[in-house]
Amino acid sequence: MSLFRPAFLALALLCAHSPQAQEGTDTQQVRIDVPSLNTAIGGEFLLPADPAEDRRRSIRLSRTPVFATPVARVKGTGLMLRNRLHAPVTIDLELDGLSNAKLAAAMMPRVTLAPLESREVILVQGVDLMRTGSADFSLKSTVGSPDAKPDQRHVYAWPLAETRRSRISQGFNGPTHDEEFSQFAIDIAVKEGTPVVAARAGVVVFLEDRFFESGLDRTSFRDKANHVRILHDDGSMATYAHLAPDSVRLVPGQRVAVGDEIGRSGNTGFSSGPHLHFAILVNRDMKIVSIPFRMHGVKLPLVKD
């Protein structure tokens, strides 16, 4: 029997999200309480089974990709991190403070969890076992592995199923592509309802298709772009944004092939008119950034990444 009861874990989410780019970064403040010996009861605390992930929960997973929970151990209280996504997630851990507590071993400042992986990363022990102790941590989670090496030679397929190609209305470093996660994106002016197809094979990470509105106020509409994020085998990710409402028929974890339909083009979020926003994203030192890419039949600037 464990000498410690399951500890209480408090989470505070302090991040801002942008589904149009879906930066994939989340910050949490975590406190682990180590109960005193004279009140500790119970046995081992087991992590509950991961619930089925479906499309209705996908956007929530994208905003909070890591689930943190305390685990009671014989010699203290552990912190278990569970990656809820079908993609790697990298977590930076920082110790904010200890009160009548100590770490059982040196803490790893950064860990990368494989898709759906659970891992105990910290063990906190009490100092005076007759008094409650606590440890405070900050966790920053970013989708993807910083060690990923995208294949710069890969040529992407055209991401629309149409008999005649639509016009690229904005390219790399375009007027509204002024942030790192959109710098190397392209916008394709296409009529609403056109099938959007996978430009490269991969696994669906998360999606959103519940928004109907659009507008030119970036602050008001940047988080209302329906989109799909797909992870490729080399660790890069494609984002397909501004999709039509209720047009995505995918689920997280589903594998798609080149040419498979992933949704319909639309005009949602921060947008001046119907178009598809397409970009290739990677995790670069815990920031989601876009990178240059090649596309079949399209003349894009050759930019050294």
Instruction: Report the CATH number that the domain containing residue 209 is assigned in CATH.
Output: 2.70.70.10
Phi, psi of 58 (to 5 degrees): -60, -45
What letters, b where the CB count within 10 A reaches 16 and e where it falls short, cover 168-202? bebebebeebeebbbbbbbbbebebebbbbbbbeb
Cα-based torsion angle of the residue sequence 172, 176, 182, 185 in order, rounded to the nearest 10 degrees? -40
Looking at residue 97, what is its pLDDT?
93
Same domain? 180 vs 130: no
Q: How far apart are CA 230 and CA 207, in angstroms?
A: 9
Tell me, yes or no, whether 148 lies in a domain: no
Of 100, 122, 143, the residue at which a domain comes to its end is: 143
Question: What is the radius of gyration, based on Cα positions, of the chain?
Answer: 22
**CB within 8 A of 202, min separation 6: which ones?**
230, 231, 232, 233, 237, 238, 255, 256
For residues 44 and 82, membership in a common domain is answered with yes
> What pTM value is reported for the model?
0.80
Residues 165 and 137 in one domain: no
How many other CB atoms are there within 10 angstroms of residue 45's CB atom? 19
Same domain, 86 and 173: no
Are the CB atoms for 206 and 61 separated by under 8 Å?
yes
Burial letters 256-265, b for 16+ CB under 10 A, else e: beeeeebbbb
Q: Which of 83, 113, 143 is the last residue of a domain?
A: 143
302 domain-assigned: no
Rounded Cα distance, 190 and 169, in Å: 9
Mark the ranges of the chain whose per-residue pLDDT is less than 50: 1-22, 36-55
Q: What whole-number distance in Å separates Cα of residue 160 and Cα of residue 281? A: 19
Q: Is residue 286 part of a domain?
A: yes
Query: What per-residue confidence (pLDDT) applies to 117?
Result: 94
- Give the range of the structural domain holding residue 234, as residue numbers without chain letter: 155-295
Give the span between the Cα atoms of 18 and 62, in whole angstroms: 10
What integer pLDDT is reported at residue 176 of this predicted model?
A: 81
When divided into structural domains, the chain yields a total of: 2
What is the per-residue pLDDT across 169-185, written as a single tens digit (0 to 9) for each? 898 988 888 788 889 99
Name residue, tokens 């014989």: 74
Q: What is the pLDDT of residues 110-163, one digit of tens each?
A: 999 999 999 999 999 989 878 888 899 999 999 999 999 999 999 999 999 988
Residue 247, burial from CB neighbour count under 10 angstroms (0-12, 13-18, 19+):
buried
